[in-house]
Amino acid sequence: MFKNHLTLRNLTLGLLVACLALGGLTTLAETDNSDARKAKILANLKLQFPQLDAMNATMGDLKASGYEGLDEGSFTLTGQRGPQTQTFLVSSDDTKLYLVNGQPLDVSRSSEEIEAEMAERAAEEMRKAEDTAKRLEEAVAGRPMLGNPDAAVTIVEFSDFQCPFCARGANTVEEILEKYGDDVKVAFMHFPLGFHPWAKPAAIAAHCAGELEDEAFWTLHDGYFADQKQITPENVLDKSRELLADSGIDMDVWSECATNEESDAYKAAAAVVDADMALGGEVGVSGTPGFFVNGQLISGAQPLSAFEPLIEAAKKGSMEGDSMEAESE
Protein backbone atom coordinates (compact mmCIF):
# COMPACT_ATOMS: atom_id res chain seq x y z
CA MET A 1 0.00 0.00 0.00
CA PHE A 2 1.39 3.37 -1.04
CA LYS A 3 1.32 6.44 1.17
CA ASN A 4 -1.95 8.39 0.86
CA HIS A 5 -3.79 5.11 0.14
CA LEU A 6 -2.25 4.74 -3.33
CA THR A 7 -1.66 1.18 -4.52
CA LEU A 8 0.41 -0.20 -7.39
CA ARG A 9 -2.87 -0.62 -9.28
CA ASN A 10 -3.59 3.09 -8.78
CA LEU A 11 -0.22 3.93 -10.28
CA THR A 12 -0.41 1.61 -13.25
CA LEU A 13 -4.10 1.64 -14.14
CA GLY A 14 -5.72 4.70 -12.61
CA LEU A 15 -6.08 8.09 -14.24
CA LEU A 16 -4.13 9.42 -11.26
CA VAL A 17 -2.65 12.91 -11.31
CA ALA A 18 0.10 13.43 -8.76
CA CYS A 19 1.64 16.88 -8.45
CA LEU A 20 5.12 16.68 -7.00
CA ALA A 21 7.10 19.74 -5.99
CA LEU A 22 10.40 18.65 -7.48
CA GLY A 23 11.83 22.16 -7.75
CA GLY A 24 15.07 23.62 -8.95
CA LEU A 25 15.37 23.79 -12.74
CA THR A 26 14.28 26.55 -15.05
CA THR A 27 12.30 26.06 -18.27
CA LEU A 28 14.40 24.24 -20.86
CA ALA A 29 14.32 24.78 -24.61
CA GLU A 30 15.05 21.09 -25.19
CA THR A 31 14.31 18.00 -23.15
CA ASP A 32 16.92 17.37 -20.49
CA ASN A 33 17.47 13.59 -20.51
CA SER A 34 20.49 13.68 -18.25
CA ASP A 35 21.12 11.02 -15.64
CA ALA A 36 21.14 13.76 -13.01
CA ARG A 37 17.62 14.89 -13.88
CA LYS A 38 16.25 11.35 -14.05
CA ALA A 39 17.84 10.49 -10.69
CA LYS A 40 16.36 13.62 -9.15
CA ILE A 41 12.84 12.82 -10.41
CA LEU A 42 13.08 9.23 -9.18
CA ALA A 43 14.34 10.37 -5.76
CA ASN A 44 11.38 12.72 -5.43
CA LEU A 45 8.98 9.94 -6.44
CA LYS A 46 10.44 7.69 -3.75
CA LEU A 47 10.04 10.51 -1.24
CA GLN A 48 6.33 10.65 -2.03
CA PHE A 49 5.93 6.87 -2.36
CA PRO A 50 8.58 5.06 -0.26
CA GLN A 51 7.37 1.66 -1.43
CA LEU A 52 8.85 2.38 -4.86
CA ASP A 53 12.25 1.66 -3.38
CA ALA A 54 11.19 -1.87 -2.40
CA MET A 55 9.80 -2.38 -5.90
CA ASN A 56 13.15 -1.63 -7.53
CA ALA A 57 11.82 1.35 -9.46
CA THR A 58 13.99 2.32 -12.41
CA MET A 59 13.71 5.35 -14.65
CA GLY A 60 13.40 5.28 -18.40
CA ASP A 61 14.45 8.03 -20.78
CA LEU A 62 12.79 11.44 -20.97
CA LYS A 63 11.66 12.85 -24.29
CA ALA A 64 9.58 15.66 -25.74
CA SER A 65 5.88 14.95 -25.24
CA GLY A 66 4.60 17.11 -28.06
CA TYR A 67 2.89 19.41 -25.55
CA GLU A 68 4.41 22.76 -24.72
CA GLY A 69 6.20 22.80 -21.39
CA LEU A 70 5.84 19.05 -20.75
CA ASP A 71 8.25 16.16 -21.21
CA GLU A 72 7.30 12.49 -21.27
CA GLY A 73 8.94 9.74 -19.27
CA SER A 74 8.30 6.47 -17.49
CA PHE A 75 9.48 4.35 -14.61
CA THR A 76 9.29 0.59 -14.23
CA LEU A 77 8.29 -1.31 -11.07
CA THR A 78 8.99 -4.94 -10.26
CA GLY A 79 6.10 -6.36 -8.26
CA GLN A 80 4.33 -9.67 -7.72
CA ARG A 81 2.75 -9.45 -11.17
CA GLY A 82 6.09 -8.86 -12.84
CA PRO A 83 7.46 -5.64 -14.37
CA GLN A 84 4.95 -2.82 -14.79
CA THR A 85 5.69 0.46 -16.50
CA GLN A 86 4.04 3.74 -15.54
CA THR A 87 4.09 6.68 -17.95
CA PHE A 88 4.16 10.26 -16.74
CA LEU A 89 4.32 13.83 -17.98
CA VAL A 90 6.65 16.21 -16.18
CA SER A 91 6.86 19.97 -16.52
CA SER A 92 10.07 21.23 -18.03
CA ASP A 93 10.96 22.96 -14.77
CA ASP A 94 10.24 19.75 -12.81
CA THR A 95 7.71 21.39 -10.52
CA LYS A 96 4.82 19.12 -11.52
CA LEU A 97 4.64 15.47 -12.52
CA TYR A 98 1.43 13.84 -13.76
CA LEU A 99 0.97 10.07 -13.70
CA VAL A 100 -1.14 9.07 -16.70
CA ASN A 101 -2.58 5.98 -18.33
CA GLY A 102 -3.30 5.42 -22.00
CA GLN A 103 -2.82 7.63 -25.04
CA PRO A 104 -4.03 11.24 -25.28
CA LEU A 105 -7.61 11.65 -26.50
CA ASP A 106 -8.60 14.14 -29.17
CA VAL A 107 -11.52 16.19 -27.82
CA SER A 108 -11.41 18.90 -30.49
CA ARG A 109 -14.21 17.65 -32.74
CA SER A 110 -17.16 19.92 -33.37
CA SER A 111 -20.74 18.78 -32.80
CA GLU A 112 -21.15 18.36 -36.56
CA GLU A 113 -18.01 16.21 -36.78
CA ILE A 114 -19.15 14.12 -33.82
CA GLU A 115 -22.56 13.58 -35.42
CA ALA A 116 -20.98 12.56 -38.72
CA GLU A 117 -18.60 10.11 -37.02
CA MET A 118 -21.41 8.60 -34.96
CA ALA A 119 -23.45 8.09 -38.14
CA GLU A 120 -20.47 6.46 -39.81
CA ARG A 121 -19.98 4.14 -36.84
CA ALA A 122 -23.66 3.20 -36.85
CA ALA A 123 -23.49 2.42 -40.56
CA GLU A 124 -20.40 0.28 -40.01
CA GLU A 125 -22.11 -1.58 -37.17
CA MET A 126 -25.09 -2.22 -39.44
CA ARG A 127 -22.84 -3.54 -42.20
CA LYS A 128 -21.09 -5.78 -39.68
CA ALA A 129 -24.43 -7.08 -38.36
CA GLU A 130 -25.66 -7.80 -41.88
CA ASP A 131 -22.47 -9.72 -42.68
CA THR A 132 -22.73 -11.68 -39.44
CA ALA A 133 -26.42 -12.42 -40.05
CA LYS A 134 -25.60 -13.78 -43.51
CA ARG A 135 -22.84 -16.03 -42.15
CA LEU A 136 -25.07 -17.35 -39.40
CA GLU A 137 -28.01 -17.96 -41.77
CA GLU A 138 -25.73 -20.09 -43.92
CA ALA A 139 -24.36 -21.93 -40.89
CA VAL A 140 -27.76 -22.87 -39.44
CA ALA A 141 -29.34 -23.91 -42.73
CA GLY A 142 -30.84 -27.35 -42.24
CA ARG A 143 -30.47 -27.25 -38.44
CA PRO A 144 -33.38 -27.86 -36.06
CA MET A 145 -35.24 -24.60 -35.43
CA LEU A 146 -37.97 -23.25 -33.21
CA GLY A 147 -40.58 -20.73 -34.30
CA ASN A 148 -41.48 -19.82 -37.86
CA PRO A 149 -38.84 -21.06 -40.34
CA ASP A 150 -39.87 -18.25 -42.73
CA ALA A 151 -39.66 -15.47 -40.12
CA ALA A 152 -37.68 -12.36 -41.00
CA VAL A 153 -36.13 -12.22 -37.52
CA THR A 154 -33.50 -14.87 -36.86
CA ILE A 155 -32.13 -15.50 -33.38
CA VAL A 156 -29.02 -17.66 -33.27
CA GLU A 157 -27.97 -18.91 -29.86
CA PHE A 158 -24.45 -20.12 -29.05
CA SER A 159 -24.80 -22.26 -25.96
CA ASP A 160 -23.32 -24.90 -23.64
CA PHE A 161 -25.60 -27.59 -22.21
CA GLN A 162 -23.68 -27.70 -18.91
CA CYS A 163 -23.71 -23.93 -18.39
CA PRO A 164 -26.27 -22.77 -15.78
CA PHE A 165 -26.52 -19.35 -17.41
CA CYS A 166 -27.38 -21.08 -20.68
CA ALA A 167 -30.29 -22.80 -18.93
CA ARG A 168 -31.55 -19.34 -18.00
CA GLY A 169 -31.01 -18.24 -21.57
CA ALA A 170 -33.13 -21.16 -22.79
CA ASN A 171 -35.95 -19.95 -20.54
CA THR A 172 -35.68 -16.50 -22.12
CA VAL A 173 -35.94 -18.09 -25.57
CA GLU A 174 -39.24 -19.64 -24.47
CA GLU A 175 -40.47 -16.20 -23.43
CA ILE A 176 -39.43 -14.76 -26.79
CA LEU A 177 -41.29 -17.46 -28.68
CA GLU A 178 -44.36 -16.98 -26.50
CA LYS A 179 -44.42 -13.24 -27.15
CA TYR A 180 -43.34 -13.06 -30.79
CA GLY A 181 -44.64 -16.37 -32.16
CA ASP A 182 -44.42 -16.40 -35.96
CA ASP A 183 -42.26 -13.28 -36.08
CA VAL A 184 -39.07 -15.11 -35.09
CA LYS A 185 -37.13 -18.28 -35.67
CA VAL A 186 -34.50 -19.61 -33.25
CA ALA A 187 -31.49 -21.75 -34.13
CA PHE A 188 -29.00 -23.35 -31.73
CA MET A 189 -25.25 -23.52 -32.25
CA HIS A 190 -22.82 -25.38 -30.02
CA PHE A 191 -20.25 -23.63 -27.85
CA PRO A 192 -19.21 -26.17 -25.17
CA LEU A 193 -16.66 -24.61 -22.85
CA GLY A 194 -13.52 -26.57 -22.05
CA PHE A 195 -14.06 -26.51 -18.29
CA HIS A 196 -17.48 -28.19 -18.63
CA PRO A 197 -16.54 -31.88 -19.00
CA TRP A 198 -19.86 -33.26 -20.24
CA ALA A 199 -20.82 -30.31 -22.43
CA LYS A 200 -19.09 -31.48 -25.62
CA PRO A 201 -20.28 -35.12 -25.42
CA ALA A 202 -23.78 -33.72 -24.93
CA ALA A 203 -23.36 -31.37 -27.91
CA ILE A 204 -22.28 -34.26 -30.13
CA ALA A 205 -25.13 -36.46 -28.88
CA ALA A 206 -27.66 -33.67 -29.52
CA HIS A 207 -26.33 -33.05 -33.01
CA CYS A 208 -26.55 -36.77 -33.78
CA ALA A 209 -30.15 -36.79 -32.58
CA GLY A 210 -30.97 -33.76 -34.72
CA GLU A 211 -29.57 -35.48 -37.78
CA LEU A 212 -32.27 -38.12 -37.33
CA GLU A 213 -35.20 -35.97 -36.20
CA ASP A 214 -35.49 -32.27 -35.34
CA GLU A 215 -37.69 -32.99 -32.36
CA ALA A 216 -35.12 -35.41 -30.97
CA PHE A 217 -32.59 -32.59 -30.82
CA TRP A 218 -34.97 -30.40 -28.82
CA THR A 219 -35.77 -33.35 -26.55
CA LEU A 220 -32.12 -33.56 -25.54
CA HIS A 221 -31.81 -29.77 -25.45
CA ASP A 222 -34.67 -29.45 -22.97
CA GLY A 223 -33.64 -32.52 -20.99
CA TYR A 224 -30.04 -31.42 -20.51
CA PHE A 225 -31.01 -27.99 -19.25
CA ALA A 226 -33.76 -29.34 -16.99
CA ASP A 227 -31.52 -32.02 -15.44
CA GLN A 228 -28.11 -30.28 -15.40
CA LYS A 229 -27.33 -31.02 -11.75
CA GLN A 230 -27.87 -34.76 -12.17
CA ILE A 231 -25.76 -35.16 -15.30
CA THR A 232 -22.09 -36.11 -15.10
CA PRO A 233 -19.39 -36.95 -17.64
CA GLU A 234 -19.93 -40.61 -16.71
CA ASN A 235 -23.71 -40.71 -17.17
CA VAL A 236 -24.36 -38.12 -19.88
CA LEU A 237 -24.79 -40.70 -22.65
CA ASP A 238 -26.98 -42.94 -20.51
CA LYS A 239 -29.12 -39.93 -19.62
CA SER A 240 -29.30 -39.11 -23.32
CA ARG A 241 -30.59 -42.61 -24.08
CA GLU A 242 -33.24 -42.25 -21.40
CA LEU A 243 -34.38 -38.92 -22.79
CA LEU A 244 -34.56 -40.32 -26.33
CA ALA A 245 -36.30 -43.56 -25.39
CA ASP A 246 -39.70 -42.41 -26.68
CA SER A 247 -38.43 -40.25 -29.54
CA GLY A 248 -38.95 -42.88 -32.23
CA ILE A 249 -35.49 -42.42 -33.75
CA ASP A 250 -33.24 -45.33 -34.65
CA MET A 251 -31.25 -45.65 -31.43
CA ASP A 252 -28.60 -47.87 -33.00
CA VAL A 253 -27.83 -45.20 -35.59
CA TRP A 254 -27.83 -42.52 -32.90
CA SER A 255 -25.55 -44.57 -30.65
CA GLU A 256 -23.03 -45.17 -33.45
CA CYS A 257 -22.91 -41.42 -34.06
CA ALA A 258 -22.92 -40.28 -30.43
CA THR A 259 -20.69 -42.86 -28.76
CA ASN A 260 -18.37 -44.58 -31.27
CA GLU A 261 -15.49 -42.15 -31.52
CA GLU A 262 -13.98 -44.16 -34.38
CA SER A 263 -17.07 -43.92 -36.57
CA ASP A 264 -17.37 -41.49 -39.45
CA ALA A 265 -20.68 -40.27 -38.03
CA TYR A 266 -19.10 -39.36 -34.69
CA LYS A 267 -16.20 -37.57 -36.37
CA ALA A 268 -18.60 -35.62 -38.57
CA ALA A 269 -20.72 -34.58 -35.57
CA ALA A 270 -17.63 -33.55 -33.58
CA ALA A 271 -16.46 -31.51 -36.59
CA VAL A 272 -19.78 -29.65 -36.64
CA VAL A 273 -19.45 -28.80 -32.95
CA ASP A 274 -15.87 -27.60 -33.48
CA ALA A 275 -16.94 -25.53 -36.50
CA ASP A 276 -19.71 -23.93 -34.45
CA MET A 277 -17.21 -22.90 -31.81
CA ALA A 278 -14.80 -21.53 -34.38
CA LEU A 279 -17.54 -19.48 -36.04
CA GLY A 280 -18.75 -18.24 -32.69
CA GLY A 281 -15.29 -16.96 -31.86
CA GLU A 282 -15.02 -15.25 -35.24
CA VAL A 283 -18.29 -13.34 -34.80
CA GLY A 284 -17.58 -12.22 -31.26
CA VAL A 285 -18.77 -14.92 -28.86
CA SER A 286 -16.43 -15.07 -25.86
CA GLY A 287 -18.67 -16.85 -23.35
CA THR A 288 -22.04 -18.51 -23.08
CA PRO A 289 -24.78 -17.93 -23.81
CA GLY A 290 -24.33 -15.60 -26.75
CA PHE A 291 -27.28 -14.58 -28.93
CA PHE A 292 -27.49 -12.87 -32.30
CA VAL A 293 -30.69 -11.11 -33.36
CA ASN A 294 -30.34 -10.64 -37.13
CA GLY A 295 -26.59 -10.45 -36.59
CA GLN A 296 -26.54 -8.16 -33.56
CA LEU A 297 -24.90 -9.67 -30.49
CA ILE A 298 -26.44 -9.97 -27.03
CA SER A 299 -23.95 -11.46 -24.57
CA GLY A 300 -24.95 -13.43 -21.51
CA ALA A 301 -28.20 -14.60 -19.97
CA GLN A 302 -30.13 -11.41 -20.58
CA PRO A 303 -33.84 -10.95 -19.83
CA LEU A 304 -36.55 -10.63 -22.45
CA SER A 305 -36.34 -6.84 -22.22
CA ALA A 306 -32.80 -6.94 -23.68
CA PHE A 307 -34.07 -8.71 -26.81
CA GLU A 308 -37.23 -6.70 -27.40
CA PRO A 309 -35.63 -3.54 -28.91
CA LEU A 310 -33.56 -5.58 -31.38
CA ILE A 311 -36.48 -7.80 -32.34
CA GLU A 312 -38.78 -4.80 -32.81
CA ALA A 313 -36.15 -3.00 -34.89
CA ALA A 314 -35.61 -6.11 -37.02
CA LYS A 315 -39.35 -6.47 -37.54
CA LYS A 316 -39.63 -2.82 -38.52
CA GLY A 317 -36.70 -3.10 -40.90
CA SER A 318 -38.26 -6.14 -42.50
CA MET A 319 -41.61 -4.43 -42.97
CA GLU A 320 -39.96 -1.35 -44.49
CA GLY A 321 -38.00 -3.60 -46.83
CA ASP A 322 -41.17 -5.42 -47.91
CA SER A 323 -42.87 -2.06 -48.51
CA MET A 324 -40.04 -0.82 -50.70
CA GLU A 325 -40.09 -4.05 -52.73
CA ALA A 326 -43.82 -3.74 -53.23
CA GLU A 327 -43.47 -0.13 -54.43
CA SER A 328 -40.72 -1.07 -56.87
CA GLU A 329 -42.96 -3.73 -58.36
* DSSP character string of 40-83: HHHHHHHHH-THHHHTT-EE---EE-SSTTEEEEEEEEEETTEE
- Split at pLDDT 50, 70, 90, the class of 29 is low
pLDDT tens for 143-167 read 999 999 999 999 999 999 999 999 9
Which residues fall within 8 angstroms of residue 148, CB to CB, at 6 or more apart?
181, 182, 183, 184, 185
Average pLDDT over residues 301-328: 76
Q: Does residue 81 carry a pLDDT above 90?
A: no
Q: Which residues pair with 59 in a beta bridge?
A: 75
Q: Is the pTM of this model over 0.85?
A: no
CA 40 to chain centre: 44
Q: Does residue 23 carry a pLDDT above 70?
A: no
**pLDDT averaged over the chain?**
88
pLDDT tens for 172-226 read 999 999 999 899 999 999 999 999 999 999 999 999 999 999 999 999 999 999 9
Length of the chain: 329
